[in-house]
Structure 1
Amino acid sequence: MSTYKGVQETPEKRNFLAQTFTDSRGHTLPYRMLVPTMHPAHAKVGTHKVVPERMPLVLLLHGSGERGNDNSAQLRNGVAELLGSETPAARFPCFYLVPQCPTGHRWVEVNWRAERHVLPLNLSVPLSATMELVESLLGRYPIDPQRLYLIGLSMGGFGAWDLLSRWPERFAAAVTICGGADENAAVTARAVPVWASTAPATPLSLSSVRVEQSRPCERPAAPPNIPSIPM
């Protein structure tokens, strides 16, 4: 085990580069990034070749319990083990970006328990910084801008729907687990494939599933071994 800022980290977590980003307004955003092993950022000198083609970027927005500034908590709950282990990284080589929302902020500044909410006029501070970070990474790494993917967990589900509602053309697909959205605004993302799920204890009226039900689009089959709700 090793430590990062006093936090013990597993080998899978250590596969994620630890960085910070300062946006155009001076806000600092901690983030972790998993770079494909064949890319020079993860290579020993002379042992790997440069990535020959542009690769996908997966942006993962964590839940409320992982907020902070330790740049480690956002990799909890199996995130590092799922994405940072050798098997998926080898089968599906891509860049994984996992920013950390600061304590006291939300990816979307709305009431999580409300029956419905309206898309805020502006992005939240951390979500705005995240999108600036994504644009910065597109210029620094061989990332395919046509293959940007979103994963949102709980609070991050709100963030994923917020981004899909504002810029549906920017994302190739998304997965939302719990969370919620402005149903009227989410219709703009009707062409984006989304797999939405919810936890048994989460009221359907508050979940991403209801938002997904409201979108007039083709329904993909749910992945195996994961509970789903008919749409």
Structure 2
Amino acid sequence: MTALDVRAARPDQLVSGDKGQWEIIVGLEVHAQVTSQAKLFSGASAAYGGDPNAHVSLVDAAMPGMLPVINKFCVEQAVRTGLGLNAEIHKKSRFDRKNYFYPDLPQGYQISQYKEPIVGEGQIEVEPDGEEPVTIRIERLHLEQDAGKSIHDLSPSETFVDLNRAGVALMEIVSRPDMRSSKEAAAYFNKLRSIVRALGTCDGNMEEGSMR
């Protein structure tokens, strides 16, 4: 069960509706692409851009018999981020398969973490514009693979698939539902972005999808 922040809502944070006043309660799951030259489970380049399907290994393409080997540097980057979030670093973690079918996911499942993430609970303090500092709790940070990209606008009758992004390492950073306004949510995201940029664990380039 997710524990809610016990702060009482301020009058200026309430939203009027037909049936009374509504309180905003926000939690965010932020995906941050790990700054690494190689992907999470293959040696293929994790660089942004490039010709379609130029950065794809046999592992990324899910060729039969190809086994993933974890990128140690990506694990170190996740641990570094966890320390920057004042979070607990788990000495033991494991990966799970998240099964779903989509054309740009060749394996038919995503390698992610569920029961035993690499980073546990933490917290950061944010300062919304003109307001008192607020502590936002972090529930977890886990590593997972990104999917490829489906391209629908090159043909009216066909969909094309670019696997350059498939297998790129992501950190999913999950907050508790501690934010009570859009200002607090924006301040939290901006603080998170500044932390990973300062640590060098994610470039935070939203226009490239590095943080979303």
Shorter-chain TM-score: which interval?
under 0.3
Which has the larger Rg? 2
The structure showing larger relative contact order (alpha-carbon pairs under 8 Å, at least 6 residues apart) is 2
Higher share of residues assigned helix = 1
